Structures are given as C-alpha cells and as structure tokens.
Amino acid sequence: MASNERIGRALNSNNLRQDELHSDVDVIAALAFASRLGSSLQSLKSGGHLNQLPDSVYLLSLALIRSGRRKRIGISRDKAEIVSRQALLEWLIQICRSCNGTGHRLSDYTVKPIRHLRKKNSDDMCPHCNGTGKFMPTWAWRRQMMSLDGEESKAWWEKRIEFAKEIADDAYHGAKRKVTVQLTDLLSP
C-alpha cells in the first residue's frame, strides 16, 4: 500500500488497534516526527480533513515569510496569507477541470473524450491544459480567487504563489519521507 494511502487510512481510521506489523497508530505517530506544516498538509490532502485548511494556510504563510527572507523575496503577513490560501487551492487541484485530466476536449455533458485516438491530435487536445491533463491556473482566475483589482502586478503575485506551492510540496513530501523512515525503523531490530 502506498504511503499516502496508509496515511489517509490512518488519519481517517476509527479503529486504531495493532495489526501484524504496523498499525494505523504507527503511521500517526510517525507523522509526529514531521514538520507541523508537513503533518498538516498530509492531514489535509491524504486524510481529506478540510478542517486543517486554516492551520495549513497559517503555517504555509509563516514558512513563506521565513523562506522569502532567506531568498530576499519580501512579503507582508497579509499578502503571505492571501498567497498561501491561493497556493494551497492550486496545490490541491491536481487535474484540469476542462478535460477531467484526459488531455482531450470533452463532448458536452460527458466525461469522455470526443474521439479515442492512439496519437494525440492537436485539434482534439484540451486548449486549457495543452493536452497534459494537469491543472493550469490562469491569471484571470487567480485574480478573481484572490479578490485583486486590476492594478496588481501579475509577475509579483505569480512568483510568490509558485514559491509557496514549492514550499508546500517540499513539506508534504518531507512528511511522507519521515513516515516511511519511521515505519522502516520500526521494522528493524
């Protein structure tokens, strides 16, 4: 079973009894060794606990401010919270919503591509994600979600959003690695 599945199952378990080698308690205990941000993001993404969102936004905004100082990328607390909220929203969305992750245009009222092709034809590729199937935010959407007026600098905001997504991704995968290491240590004598 993949680490994310184990973490998700453990975080959503209502029965934390021991089993053969590792129990759900071991997974949750291993998360305690991860950073607070990493644990919060694991709970949010793998466990599906949306009540972790405010804590994750707060922790990400603190990490963004701290990391921004080291990289000489200035950001105030208020803007760090706005950027963190937007970055987490984008980080949680995995697939293109226009094509449902298929990379092809969809016909109306269906989740199936227009044509099933062995080769990708540029006419049938999703124009929003360019056939990748991955979520690609637009500036207009970002501006609307962050409630920005037209005078804001696109480059300034986008640089910080991408930086915050990198921080979130690093913390999330760091927590996942920490769980794997802790569970491996439990196996060794």
Task: Kindly list the averaged pLDDT for each block of 10 residues, start to end, along the chain of length 189.
Answer: 56 50 55 74 79 91 90 87 95 85 71 49 76 88 87 86 93 81 60
CA distance 148 to 63: 23
Angle between helices 154-187 and 3-11 (to 10 degrees): 90
N- to C-terminal Cα separation, the chain: 22
Shared-domain flag, residues 108 and 165? no
Shared-domain flag, residues 108 and 176? no
pLDDT of residue 58: 95
Shared-domain flag, residues 90 and 173? yes
Shared-domain flag, residues 84 and 100? no
Shared-domain flag, residues 7 and 24? yes
Shared-domain flag, residues 167 and 118? no
pLDDT of residue 19: 53
Shared-domain flag, residues 157 and 65? yes
Neighbours of 124 (CB within 10 A): 17
pLDDT, one tens digit per residue, over 14-44 is 444 455 555 555 555 555 566 788 888 888 8
Shared-domain flag, residues 89 and 99? no
pLDDT of residue 32: 59
Q: What is the tally of structural domains in the chain? A: 2
CA distance 111 to 126: 13
| Domain, as residue range, for 158 | 3-94+138-187
Shared-domain flag, residues 123 and 37? no
Shared-domain flag, residues 150 and 69? yes
Shared-domain flag, residues 34 and 108? no
Residues 6+ apart with CB under 8 A from 148: 142, 157
- Would you list the DSSP string of the chain? --HHHHHHHHHT-S-----SS--HHHHHHHHTTS-HHHHHHHHHHTS--GGGHHHHHHHHHHHHHHHHHHTT----HHHHHHHHHHHHHHHH--B-TTTTTSSB-B-TT-SSBSS--SS--TTTB-TTTTTS-B----HHHHHHHHT--TTS-HHHHHHHHHHHHHHHHHHHHHHHHHHHHHHHHHH--
